[in-house]
Amino acid sequence: MAGLSTLAKTSDRAFPFAAELMGVLSIAALGMLGFLLFPDDLAFLTRLIGITLLVLSLDLVTGYCGVATLGHAALFGVSAYAVGNACIGGIREPILLLGVGIIAGTIMGAISGALITRFRGLPQLVLSIAIGQLVAALANKLSSVTGGSDGLSGITPDPVLGLFRFDMYSRTAFTFSLIVLAVVFVLLLRFVRSPFGLLCRGIRDDDLRAQMIGATVYPRLVIMYAVSGAVAGVGGALNAMTAGVVGLDSVSFERSAEVLVMLVLGGAGNLWGALFGSVVFQIFEHIVSATNPFHWMTLVGLLLIAIVLFAPRGLSHGVAVLWPKIFKRGGRA
């Protein structure tokens, strides 16, 4: 995984198509590894994929545009509720439901972005929390739409392409989610390398410089937020379809904070970092919480402190720095 991440990071800039191929191969390899390591827990891996899409979505605005947000779960949760309601209302085709999630996420992203990106620094962060809390409060109050604290249940999508039924072992859910993740990841690799994506990174570096070469900052950030909403919407849709229920946790502050931690852990401003951070954090949390149910939060906290101390720019950057040194040492030996 580390090797793939490093290789991909290098090739990402040198050989664009190699990066995309590497993306598909890495996700396929991770999926196969997950299938072998957790054959009886594919539901966990499926949930992991949904959250990974949310982390990738957060990376677009936080890592690539420098927007501080602690309310990103709102985009994910609103899409999940929209998909849940659509499914209960009669739209059961999984691909169509993905479309519903994308539309809901895009709209929510555009609205959030239009408000949040008007500000900078602490006001921006506070506004993002306020939007997240507002959505969470609405989700709790509008129980006729969201199921309130009981959650929205009864989400039973049709078989994928009319052929593959969502089974109780989550094989279909996992495979479907993995394919969707691979497609979204490749599209995002291409998107962040486009002049639009590059200018967003330029805005993060110095928005005045970006304006001097003709970039309009605010509309660009709102568009990026809408794209981020679409990606979060895919995650929310998968979550609703594969779990069959949408709970208040999907719009919670804890979810927003957790995905930010995963992004920082992996390395913000790098899609590979977001992927890496999400997978490592969730698997670590899953294993530790199962083996030590009383102190697992302490262990997760210690992991985060270690990462911040020894790899402050995230695991992906740490690996990218260490890999050539290890490789060189190995070569000499």
Partner 1 sequence: MPAARLEVAGLSAGYGPTQIVQNITFDVPAGGRLAILGRNGVGKTTLLATLMGLSTRHAGSVRIGDVELTRRRTSARALAGVGYVPQSRDVFASLTVEENLATGLKGRSRAALAEAYEMFPRLGERRRHLGGQLSGGEQQMLSMARTMLGQPSLLLLDEPLEGLAPVICDELMSMITRLAGSGDVTVVLVEQQIERALDFADRVLILERGREVWSGAPDALRADRALIERLLGVGIH
Residues near partner 1 (CB under 8 A) are 13-14, 193, 195, 198-199, 201-202, 204-206, 208-217, 269
Smallest distance, Å, CB 122 to partner 1?
Answer: 23
Cα-based angle 68, 202, 213 (whole degrees, multiple of 5): 135
The torsion angle over the Cα atoms of residues 283, 249, 121 and 234, rounded to 10 degrees, is 70
Q: What b/e sequence results for 140-170 when a residue is b if at least 16 CB atoms lie within 10 Å of its CB, and e otherwise?
A: eeeeeebbeeebbeebebbebeeeeebeeeb
Other residues' Cβ atoms within 10 Å of the Cβ of residue 288 = 18
By beta-carbon proximity to partner 1, the closer residue of 140 and 216 is 216
By beta-carbon proximity to partner 1, the closer residue of 204 and 255 is 204
By beta-carbon proximity to partner 1, the closer residue of 15 and 327 is 15
What H or E segment, with its residue span, contains residue 152?
Answer: strand 152-153
Which residue reads 């939060």 in tokens? 297
Q: Residue 272 carries which DSSP code?
A: H
206 vs 46: CA distance, rounded Å: 38
By beta-carbon proximity to partner 1, the closer residue of 20 and 285 is 20
What H or E segment, with its residue span, contains residue 194?
Answer: none
Smallest distance, Å, CB 208 to partner 1?
Answer: 7
Smallest distance, Å, CB 101 to partner 1?
Answer: 31
Smallest distance, Å, CB 19 to partner 1?
Answer: 13
**Residue 114, token pair as written in the block:** 């239009």
By beta-carbon proximity to partner 1, the closer residue of 162 and 195 is 195
By beta-carbon proximity to partner 1, the closer residue of 241 and 268 is 268
By beta-carbon proximity to partner 1, the closer residue of 149 and 211 is 211
**Residue 268, token pair as written in the block:** 């913000």
Smallest distance, Å, CB 199 to partner 1?
Answer: 5
- Structural Rg of the chain based on CA atoms: 19
By beta-carbon proximity to partner 1, the closer residue of 171 and 313 is 313
How far, rounded to the nearest angstrom, does the alpha carbon of residue 18 sit from its chain's CA centroid? 22
Q: How far is CA 161 from CA 43, 215, 237, 243, in A?
A: 20, 42, 16, 19
Smallest distance, Å, CB 284 to partner 1?
Answer: 28
173 vs 17: CA distance, rounded Å: 28
Smallest distance, Å, CB 214 to partner 1?
Answer: 4
Smallest distance, Å, CB 193 to partner 1?
Answer: 8
Contacts of 65 (CB under 8 A, 6+ apart): 117, 200, 201, 203, 204, 221, 224
